[in-house]
Chain A
């Protein structure tokens, strides 16, 4: 029996989370003007990667999906103690980075509704969002390379 069987949402939730994280990271990276420069958009079927508006829309959608999943998880965790999850951050570091990404991203998005943010604040938000995303990506890659242990209730309780 795999960890997915113990996890609310099962395998579908794990895949959805992985897909949302992957899309958010890729579309976020595509906001840097590198896709055309480094031939990624020249790959068959990848021309859209150089369209900043298309990748921006994708980033919003992936972020919305992530926010929904994480909120759902927090709501369930708050109510039912001892749930084990086969997806999502397993450390406070991971949760912290996701929280930082959500806060800075939300503030940046709020501009679309007329929220005025002073340029220096915007600069701090932009760079914080960028750095947090890079840190999250590096953390994820290290986690993949080092191998990820099956989540356990004891591990969850220890914040691992």
Chain B
């Protein structure tokens, strides 16, 4: 079995078939964009060919123009959560920030300067839309959702802003805006703290058969979207070309990001330089940015990021600029433990029924004898 086909992926076909019959697939099929329309119901995947990106940020502008108005302004004053150590996160006065992820900015572009043949690289960053997203699987309220076409999005009418999705996301993508959302109508000081926002890959547009704005606006055609299987093949071919061009034929995995990260994502990056080098450069850049921003942003955690030490990578990522290092499958344990859940009742039944022809009768007789002894004791 090829390495990039996980057990989950292998099982998915059979389970989905059974589930389709059992669940009746209550949701209607989405109208899918472009080439994917022919493959209705398929998981869609995007491929970003970073060699083409010139860093013009047309994608960012298009995304902001379309979606920033959909993020509400908070009530003022924003209720102070209890206990007081729970931070209010308010980006409403900094909607212009577009060099990182914020609740009002779902997409930004990293501008890297590198040494070697490729001297600069521009990387659009947003939600990776994982195949088995921990944000969705672990959201206790069903606010984080995954559509059949692979889009992972957050329902802002349901989200309470607990930020669990951000904690469990390996890239800490979702961003919180306090003072908005359902929690204001429930227990605004005791539970919840706003709403989490992130890229939803233009779900409302994609549902109408349109392209995501970032793809539509790109003058360089950096990004493409289509059925996952086709896109994976395309990304692999591009990565093989990139590896060969870099003098490392056969090492294509080093030039592809998102295929195996966190068990697989529906955002595949192909780079002309190895991602280990990209990630190292990103790390340096993020430390610089954190240092510059620390005085102005003291109290939002970025001051800590500038200091380094334990958990530096995590703190940098928490600051809305995700790294591109290797990411183990965070859902591996739940995937394995699902097997334990499936086996447990069978084992229990087998243990009970296994005693049928000997042990169970013996047990019944022993218990009956005990009862009789107890009854005699009670009578005497």
Which chain A positions have C-beta within 8 A of B23? 115, 117-118, 121
A32 touches which of B158, B162, B371 (Cβ 8 Å): B162
CB of B163 within 8 Å of the partner chain: yes
CB of A63 within 8 Å of the partner chain: yes
CB of B97 within 8 Å of the partner chain: no
Number of interface residues of A (CB under 8 A): 58
Interface size class of B (residues with CB under 8 A): 35 or more
Which chain B positions have C-beta within 8 A of A110? 15, 19, 338
Beta-carbon contacts of A60-104 to B below 8 Å, as 1s and 0s? 110111011111111110111001100000000000000000000
The CA-CA distance from A32 to B138 in the complex, in Å, is 9
Give the residues from 1 to 43 in chain B that come closer than 8 angstroms, CB to CB, to chain A: 8-9, 11-13, 15-16, 19, 23, 25-27
Chain A binding surface, main DSSP class: helix
Which chain B positions have C-beta within 8 A of A105? 341
Which chain B positions have C-beta within 8 A of A37? 81, 83, 86
The CA-CA distance from A72 to B146 in the complex, in Å, is 36
A118 touches which of B25, B343, B353 (Cβ 8 Å): B25
Which chain A positions have C-beta within 8 A of B141? 123, 126-127, 130
Please give 5 more A-B residue pairs, beta carbons under 8 A apart, in addition to A64-B341, A118-B148.
Answer: A53-B168, A68-B347, A114-B132, A123-B158, A124-B142
Give chain B's interface residues, CB within 8 Å of chain A: 8-9, 11-13, 15-16, 19, 23, 25-27, 81, 83, 86, 132, 134, 136-142, 145-148, 155, 158, 162-164, 167-168, 191, 330-331, 333-335, 337-338, 340-341, 343-349, 351-353, 355-356, 360-361, 363-364, 367, 370-371, 373-374, 377
Give chain A's interface residues, CB within 8 Å of chain B: 1, 5-6, 8, 31-34, 37-39, 52-53, 56-57, 60-61, 63-65, 67-76, 78-80, 83-84, 105-106, 108-127, 130
